Amino acid sequence: MLLIHCPYCDETLPESEFAYAGEAHIARPADPSATTDEEWRDYLFIRSNVKGAHYERWRHVHGCARFFNAVRDTVSDRFLTTYPAGAPRPALSDLEASE
């Protein structure tokens, strides 16, 4: 069971309090009707599925109930950081530098 730091509660808590919510930083198009079928497909379905640092969303569903973002290494499952939804995407180089 992973331990996850909720950036809102500022506590590190067991995975069972959280729900995974897919890849992060995939914004819904501001005007979906203006998108092509291909653009809309990309938004709906295309995922980076990276092997390594993965930007992803979690929800502290059995806690503060808020969505937040995380960077997790999908090879080791280790979290590099978590940060509030809406915060800028942290650069990987910064995360590795702070290790």
Partner 1 sequence: MTRFSALSLVRNALSGNRDWDQQWPDAQPKTEYDVIIVGAGGHGLGAAYYLAKEHGITNVAVIEKGWLGGGNTGRNTTIIRSNYLYDESARLYDHALDLWEGLSQELNYNVMFSQRGVLMLAHNVHDVQSFQRHVYANRLNGVDNQWLTPRQAKEFCPILNISPDARYPVMGAALQKRAGTARHDAVAWGYARAAAARGVDIIQNCPVTAIRRGANGAVEGVETARGFIRAKKVAVSAAGHTSVIMETAGVRLPLESYPLQALVSEPVKPCMPCVVMSNAVHAYMSQSDKGELVIGSGTDQYTSYSQRGGLPLIEHTLAAICEIFPTVTRMRMLRKWGGIVDVTPDRSAILGKTPVPGLYVNCGWGTGGFKATPGAGHVLAWTVAKDEPHPINAPFTLERFTTGRLIDEAAAAAVAH
Partner 2 sequence: MSRFRVTGKGRVDHHAPVRFTFDGKSFFGLRGDTLASALLANGVHLVGRSFKYHRPRGIVTAGSEEPNALVGTSRGRGRFEPNTRATLQELRSGLVAESQNRLPSLKFDVGAINDALSPLFSAGFYYKTFMWPKGFWDKVYEPVIRAAAGLGRAPETTDPDRYASRHAHTDVLVIGAGPAGIAAALAAAKAGAKVVLAEETAEIGGALLSDPEVVIDGAKAWNWIAARAADLAESGVRVMTRTTAIGYYHQNMIGLAERLTDHLDSVPENAPRERLWRIRARHVVLAQGAIEKPLVFHGNDRPGVMLAGAAQTYLHRFGVRVGDSAAVVTSHDSAWHAAFDLQDAGTGIAVIVDTRTDVREDLVAEAERRGIRLRLGHTATGTDGRLRVSALRINPLRDGSVGNGTKVFCDCVLMCGGWTPSLHLFSHTKGTLKWDAENTAFLPDRKSEAVEIAGAGRGLWGYGAALDDGAKAGALAAEALGLSAAAPTHDVRQDRPGTGTAHEELPTDHDRGHTRAFVDFQNDVTAKDIRLAVREGMRSIEHVKRYTTTGMATDQGKLSNINGLLIASNALGKEPPKVGLTTFRPPYTPTTFGTFAGYHRGAHFEVTRKTPIDSWAAENGAVWEPVGQWRRARYFPQGSEDMDDAVARECRAVREGVGLFDASTLGKIEVTGPDAAEFMNRMYTNPWTKLAPGKLRYGVLLGEDGFIRDDGVIGRISDHRFHVTTTTGGAARVLNMMEDYLQTEWPDLDVWLTSTTEQWAVAALNGPKARTVLDGLVEGLDISNEAFPMMSVADCTVAGIPARLFRLSFTGELGYEINVPARHGRALWEALMEAGKAHGITPYGTETMHVLRAEKGFIIVGQDTDGTVTPDDAGLDWAIGKAKPDFVGKRSLARPDLVAQGRRQLVGLLTQDGKVRLDEGAQIVDDPNQPTPMKMIGHVTSSYHSATLGRSIAMAVIENGRARMGETVHVPTGKGVEAAVIASAVFYDPEGGRAKL
Query: Segment 24-83, which members bind partner 1 (CB under 8 A)?
Result: 37-38, 41-42, 44-51, 54, 56, 72, 74-77
Pairing relationship of beta strands 53-59 and 67-73 according to DSSP bridges? antiparallel
Intra-chain end-to-end CA distance of the chain, in Å: 22
The site partner of 99 among partner 1, partner 2, none (C-beta below 5 to 8 Å per kind) is: none
User: Shortest approach of partner 1 to residue 78 CB, angstroms?
Assistant: 9
As given in the structure block, the two tokens for residue 24 are 């992060």
Quickly list DSSP for 28-79: PPSSGGGS-HHHHHHHHT-----SSEEEEEEE-TTTT--EEEEEEETTT--E
The residues of the shown chain that bind partner 2, judged by CB under 8 A, are 1-3, 14, 19, 21, 27-29, 31-33, 35, 37, 40, 44, 57, 59, 61, 65-67, 76-78, 85-86
User: Are 42 and 49 within 8 A, CB to CB?
Assistant: no
Least distance (Å) between residue 93 CB and partner 2: 22
Binding site for partner 1 (CB under 8 A): 1-2, 15-16, 19-20, 22-23, 37-38, 41-42, 44-51, 54, 56, 72, 74-77
